Amino acid sequence: MADIASASKSAKKPESPNELEKPIYLISYPKIILLYPTFFLALIAGIIGKMYGEESSATVFVGWTFMWVFALNIVVLAFDFPRTTSLTLFFLVMAAGFGVTLLSIYNPALMPAVYAILQKMEPRANPTFYFMFAGIFGIIYIFVFVLIRFDYWELRSNELLHHHGFLSSLERYPASNLRITKEVDDVFEYMLLGSGRLVIQPTNVQRAFVLDNVPFISSKEARITRTLGALQVQVRTEAAATE
């Protein structure tokens, strides 16, 4: 009971005016940002290759790890995991496959048939390959972070702004009666960046605006709810005063 009471008190705690006046930026990112684990692993693999050499056992381990993580990242882009159970099952399958691979490499007598197959397909790459791989991703990420500055949404306490185009075109919508829906269709994407989909429906506008892959969507939604809630209270108070 004490926890419930304390939670209700914290939920009713009003936001400071300065906090509510801060704009909320809503940005839709392309799905390639979800490949950041592969990008960082490529950098790590290149460094390990420089430290231990291309013929060391560490290079083989890094090669297998890189292939499994890259495959896992590609699966994230190719399929949706709407439920936690499907994601858990997928992780179990991937972990079992990776575990069998490592056991067969470091203990050949345990599964000689599997070891015979893996011995013919040792994934090796020199540090230059990994650094070039990471460099390509790095260049793409730079372009992504530059281009998103020409297409983003800004929610203020009294209006919704859509900035788009290289000439900074601007569309304004009233924040009153604004409807915003949060959708998390892929648990995997939510785990990687807390990302999801926001559906924005401004007042007196026929179509809805869909923003895919919005990072940290739960915290964004919480701030939006507090801002719009404060706006509704303010509008209702002013309406009652005029009466």
- Say whether pLDDT at 87 is over 80: no
* Together in a domain, 41 and 105: yes
pLDDT of residue 29: 92
pLDDT of residue 143: 95
What's the predicted TM-score (pTM) here?
0.72
Report which of 140, 218, 163 is spatially closest to residue 25, judged by C-alpha positions: 163
pLDDT of residue 234: 47
* Together in a domain, 113 and 58: yes
Domain count of the chain? 2
- Say whether pLDDT at 235 is over 80: no
* Together in a domain, 118 and 179: no
pLDDT of residue 241: 46
Task: Using pLDDT thresholds of 50, 70 and 90, give the confidence band for residue 92.
Answer: confident
The C-alpha atoms of residue 170 and residue 175 are separated, in whole angstroms, by 15
Looking at per-residue pLDDT, the higher value among 73 and 124 belongs to 73
Whether residue 165 is contained in a domain is answered as no
Q: Which domain holds residue 71?
A: 33-146
pLDDT of residue 136: 95
Whether residue 84 is contained in a domain is answered as yes
Q: Tokens 């004490």, residue? A: 2
High-pLDDT (> 70) share of the chain, %: 79
- Say whether pLDDT at 130 is over 60: yes
- Dihedral over Cα of 211, 216, 218, 221: its sign: negative
Task: Work out the average pLDDT over 60-76.
Answer: 86
Whether residue 124 is contained in a domain is answered as yes
* Together in a domain, 129 and 189: no
* Together in a domain, 46 and 138: yes
* Together in a domain, 138 and 52: yes
Give the pLDDT confidence of 167-221 residue by residue, as tens digits.
Answer: 778 888 887 778 888 888 878 788 888 888 899 888 778 888 899 999 999 888 8
The C-alpha atoms of residue 234 and residue 243 are separated, in whole angstroms, by 14
Q: What strand order describes the sheet that includes 196-201?
A: 179-183, 196-201, 209-214
Task: Work out the average pLDDT over 92-109.
Answer: 74
Question: Which of 146, 161, 192 is the endpoint of a domain?
Answer: 146
Whether residue 107 is contained in a domain is answered as yes
* Together in a domain, 112 and 63: yes
Give the pLDDT confidence of 4-51 residue by residue, as tens digits.
Answer: 333 344 444 555 555 556 888 999 999 899 999 999 999 999 999 888
Which tokens in the block code for residue 227? 């801002």
pLDDT of residue 18: 57
- Say whether pLDDT at 54 is over 60: yes
Looking at per-residue pLDDT, the higher value among 116 and 180 belongs to 180
